[in-house]
Amino acid sequence: MVIVVSHLGPSGTYTEAAALAYVNWLVEETGQKSLLCPYPTISLGMRSVVQGEAELAVVPVENSIQGSVTITLDTLWQLDDLQIQQELVLPVSHQLLSKGSSLEELKTVYSHPQALAQCQQWLEQFLPVCTIIPTNSTTEALGYLEKDPTAAAIAGARASELYNLPILAASINDYPDNCTRFWVLGLKPTTVGSNISLAFSVADIPGTLVKPLQILARHRINLSRIESRPTKRSLGEYIFFIDIFANSREPSYQAALAALSPNVEVLKIFGNYNVMAINSSKRP
């Protein structure tokens, strides 16, 4: 059986690179063959799993420079069935692709908002008068470059090879140790791993966030990340996303979960999973 793995497309995105690394690992570890399927947005890729169009989805979650990918968190909260199977960490090096011969002749730069933000300082220094145009992915706008030497796009080195576009400037991200976390999402709950992601909403009254955090601390649960997102119901109401170091079968975690449930409005567990670092020298 060949499983379908959805990802943000078109071909050449960093999400596709993470998905390729994951399916190659699957073949090596289990012999499982996979077919990659690009989607125009992150949300549609996630929904493809719920709708039965794909077995797995690879989605970006957090970047070391720009922080969380909010559409991923918001969609995960909305879709009750998705579970995290694996986390992938991919080193990201941005390139400026263009048919132009010099930076001075450029007038427009296209890319995904996250990539643009990760190169903001470089853009302000070297292309301060260029018009910046966000796109749905780093490769979506590459078609504009073919006939316009005044246009450029920020994408990866693989995109340069796939679309036969020259790299006008290399490694333009503002910080060299740039990396992005991705989640592999599916419908099967997992109980293997040392990381758990969850989220909860609380009533808009003083002290309601303190109680859940105290419960986790009391059971010696170590948090690695906490972030709030608006519920979209009313201003001032929030959902809190938390990553913790734990395994779902540990008695301390089970006790913490039992104590946590009565102290929040809605509690969702997104999965128990391991983290896999993608070696930059072995990237597809």
Q: What is the pLDDT of residues 148-188, one digit of tens each?
A: 999 999 999 999 999 999 999 999 999 999 999 999 999 99
What radius of gyration, in Å, describes the C-alpha atoms of the chain?
20
Q: How confident is the model at residue 235 (pLDDT cuts 50, 70, 90)?
A: confident
Let me know if the fold of 95-169 is the same as that of 195-272: no
Q: Give the Cα separation of 255 and 216 in Å (integer).
A: 10
Residue 185 confidence (pLDDT): 98
Residue 30 pLDDT > 90: no
Question: 272 or 141: whose pLDDT is higher?
Answer: 272
Q: Is the pLDDT of residue 284 over 50?
A: no
For residue 280, the model assigns a pLDDT of 54
Architecture of domain 95-169: 3-Layer(aba) Sandwich (3.40)
pLDDT over 90, % of the chain: 82
User: Which pLDDT belongs to residue 233?
Assistant: 83
% of residues, the chain, pLDDT over 70 = 98
Per-residue pLDDT band at 282 (split at 50, 70, 90): very low
Cis bond upstream, residue 10 (ω within 30):
yes
Helix pair 42-50, 70-78: axis angle to 10 deg: 20
CA distance 110 to 144: 9
User: Residues of 106-135 as b/e, b for ≥16 C-beta within 10 angstroms?
Assistant: bebbbbbebbbbbbeebbeeebeebeeeeb
Q: What is the pLDDT of residue 209?
A: 87
Write down the residue that tokens 């040392």 correspond to. Answer: 194
282 phi and psi angles, rounded to 5 deg: -115, 10
The fold of the 195-272 domain, in CATH, is Alpha-Beta Plaits (3.30.70)
Report the topology of domain 2-91+178-188+274-282.
Answer: D-Maltodextrin-Binding Protein; domain 2 (3.40.190)
Which residues, 6 or more positions from 10, have their beta carbon under 8 angstroms from its beta carbon? 38, 137, 139, 140
Q: What does the domain layout of the chain look like in residue ranges? A: 2-91+178-188+274-282, 95-169, 195-272
* Residue with the larger pLDDT of the pair 87 and 136: 87
Residue 92 has pLDDT above 90, yes or no: yes
The two three-digit tokens of residue 203, written as one number: 């009533």
Q: Return all residues near 256 (Cβ < 8 A) that are at least 6 apart.
A: 215, 216, 218, 219, 221
Q: Could you tell me which residues come within 8 angstroms of residue 272 by beta carbon, excluding any fewer than 6 positions away?
A: 84, 189, 190, 191, 192, 193, 195, 196, 246, 247, 248
What is the predicted pLDDT for the residue at 207?
77
d(CA 83, CA 86) in angstroms, rounded, equals 9
Residue pair 273/198 in contact (Cβ under 8 Å)? The answer is: no
Asked if pLDDT for residue 73 goes beyond 70, the answer is yes
Is a pLDDT exceeding 60 seen at residue 242?
yes
* pLDDT (mean) for 124-145: 93
